[in-house]
A and B are shown apart, each in its own frame.
With several copies, the nearest count.
Chain A
Amino acid sequence: MSRMSYREAMREALREALRADPRVFLMGEDVGRYGGTYAVSKGLLDEFGPERVRDTPLSELGFVGAGVGAAIGGMRPIVEVMTVNFSLLAMDQIVNSAALMRHMSGGQFSVPLVVRMATGAGRQLAAQHSHSLENWYAHVPGIRVLAPATVADARGMLAAALADPDPVIIFEHVQLYNLEGEAGDAPVDIARAALRRSGADVSLITHGGSLPKTLEAADALAADGIDAEVVDLRVLRPLDLETILASVRRTHRAVVIDEGWKTGSLAGEIVARIAEEALYDLDAAPLRVCSEEVPIPYAKHLEDAALPQVAAIVAAARRACGRS
């Protein structure tokens, strides 16, 4: 175990992967000479050279599709799409090539591709640079979607993703890069959600950049006599319903926190599953804390108002517990 930032944890994971397997390479815009937009890959070019830490032109559709091809061709590409915002340009290759390939070829071609992208808002980057679209990817059969929300997961998920013979997308929330924490060096599982805090009164279910806010809310609730359980989804597809439902069956109350816009959010899917599978375990209507349904504005006070905040999580949990 050692202490490091989320950014360093991702970098260590990349370094380890590049060292461990000659088939692994990292490709994306400015991953090399620039050092990565979020400085994740800084130093890797020097260590592994420009073939394996490969700067690409601005052509998201092209290089993501090239990642699919390289994966089919026997390599283990890690493609960095700078942010989820730009991944809209590459959507066709992710959905229509990576995700469908194995099934539509009758099982002949697997696509062992890892795509990493930064996601989320909170840095005043305005409407076009603040999307949270994990839910869209989590809708697509054939891919696995991960959201490391801790330093340990940032450190451990990549190796597990590379071991997966099918496409895996890893979402790194921009607000997490400076998070400090403990990281092991064993791969972590990429199948299960995690209880980040046990509690008896209400389940707070979240992922990615909303985890720190949710934990903070849980602390505030504790001070208020509400014992909140915090579930970190970790794996957005396939969802670990067992862990989610077990928690709700214990606490009988659920609040789902998700930085996506509410309508059609991943939080909606979680609420739907709870309603379908655990309706009679509920002591209160499930609630969502999501982003307001507006493009994310630049001005700080408006951006704050648009995004899920600790106070809103606390308020929702109190409401779920019949306290207001």
Chain B
Amino acid sequence: MIAPPPSGPVPWPRDRAHAMLADMVRIRRMEEKCAEVYGAGRIRGFLHLYIGEEAVAAGAVRALAPEDNLVATYREHGHALLRGVPMNAIMAEMYGKVEGCSRGRGGSMHLFDASTRLIGGNAIVGGGLPLAVGLALAARMQEAGRVTACFFGEGAMAEGAFHESMNLAALWKLPVLFACENNGYAMGTALERSESQTDLCAKAASYSMPAMRVDGMDVVAVHEAATAAVARVRADGPMFIEFRTYRFRAHSMFDAELYRSKAEVEEWKARGPIHTFSARLKAQGLLTEEEFLAIDRAALAEVDAAVAFAEAGRLEPVADLARDVHTPGAAA
């Protein structure tokens, strides 16, 4: 059932390949640490790890231009990090500190960053889709040449919001990249128990929208496809892209994983995006074990620094609780 691990030559120069690898390793190490400090009670609320899916963010987020918008879900640590939000600000956010990218107001599910045009962090499944359509509409009306990439899970596709958003974007030919991270499950619900049509690309046809399916465990395939898709969206209008991926961890920190077998998880782990990519690079002579370890060490150091930063962060004074409910300067 599960496809063979990604393999074959990587068509990138050494630097580029290392950067891509480093991206994935940074997400992985950051999230492993999040899980650890969550266990210690330093992070609370819901925490949804992206571990296993790193090739998608690495390949796709890097395909965007700085002026593009990114809308994501509650499983967005990786997207935020690669979009350029400093790991310090992400970690501080999860710690609920003012130095966090949402001033500690949002937590894990609501990472925001105006400077990199990261418009959430949305905890309503499907909630980001109409938002992305509107962002793209604004871009089109302003002739800004800006693409809006909207990430969502395959579970979101059953929501009415998906349908309405796909139709609006296609009808109005808006520059939205609909990026589905199909990890096979919505919490404990497998795709075949949530969709009557499990060929997700077939759905795009019902909006006359072009679609493509990509191996989301292969950062090379993801990046090439996403780059082509972004160019097409920028020129011609919306596109749907399905990344086949898998989450290695539980849905959130409260999940007994009753709905899938250990064997299935292990099979997918064999396709893990980091080790398969590094193996390919090594086989091609583009990476040495030393280099890999250096990348990993750098990531670990960045994570340690982020934790130290977050620990040292300030708590917003309680007196400022009502700040930012309204924009300063609004009518009294």
Contacts and interface: CB of A to CB of B under 8 A. Distances in A.
A123 interface: yes
Contacts of B322: 292-294
B325 interface: yes
A190 B141 CA distance: 29
Interface stretch (B9-17, B155-163, B218-226, B238-246): B155-163
Contact of B134 (A73, A96, A108, A129): A73
B315 interface: yes
Contacts of B327: 102, 107, 110, 165-166
Contact of A55 (B105, B107, B193): B193
Contacts of B332: 191
Interface residues of B, number: 80
A104 B106 contact: yes
Contacts of B160: 59, 61-62, 89
Interface residues of A, number: 79
B119 A72 contact: yes
A68 B71 CA distance: 13
Residue among A92, A101, A126, A190 with the most chain B CB within 10 A?
A126
A33 B270 CA distance: 25
A93 B164 CA distance: 13
Given A33-B259, A61-B160, A65-B131, A75 B112 contact: no
B119 A62 contact: no
Contacts of B106: 104-106, 126-127, 298
Interface in B277-300: none
Contacts of A69: 119, 130-138, 148
A58 B137 contact: no
Contacts of A293: 322, 325
A164 B330 contact: yes
A85 B125 CA distance: 11
B328 to A, nearest CB: 9
Contacts of B113: 108
A125 interface: yes
B167 A33 contact: no
B154 to A, nearest CB: 10
Interface stretch (A245-253, A276-284, A299-307): A299-307
B130 A68 contact: yes
Residue among A71, A73, A77, A93 with the most chain B CB within 10 A?
A73
B130 A65 contact: yes
B9 to A, nearest CB: 39
Contacts of B120: 101, 104-105
Nearest to B134: A69
A63 interface: yes
B188 A35 contact: yes
Contacts of B103: 106-107
A37 B252 CA distance: 10
B3 interface: no
A211 B77 CA distance: 37
Contacts of B46: 125, 129
Contact of B167 (A57, A64, A306): A57
A2 interface: no
B37 interface: no
Interface of B: 44-46, 69, 96-97, 100-107, 109-110, 112-114, 119-127, 129-139, 141-142, 148, 155-156, 158-161, 163-165, 167-168, 171, 186-189, 193-195, 254-256, 258-259, 315-316, 318, 321-327, 329-332
13 contacts: A32-B188, A57-B164, A65-B133, A69-B138, A73-B135, A75-B141, A85-B124, A92-B161, A106-B103, A124-B45, A142-B325, A300-B44, A301-B96
Interface of A: 25, 29-30, 32-35, 37, 39, 51, 55-75, 77, 85-86, 89, 92-93, 96-97, 101-110, 123-129, 141-142, 144, 160, 163-166, 189-191, 292-295, 297-302, 305-306
Given A55-B194, A70-B135, 20 more contacts: A55-B188, A55-B189, A57-B155, A58-B159, A61-B160, A65-B165, A66-B165, A70-B134, A89-B160, A93-B130, A105-B110, A108-B102, A108-B113, A108-B114, A109-B119, A141-B325, A166-B330, A298-B110, A302-B105, A306-B321
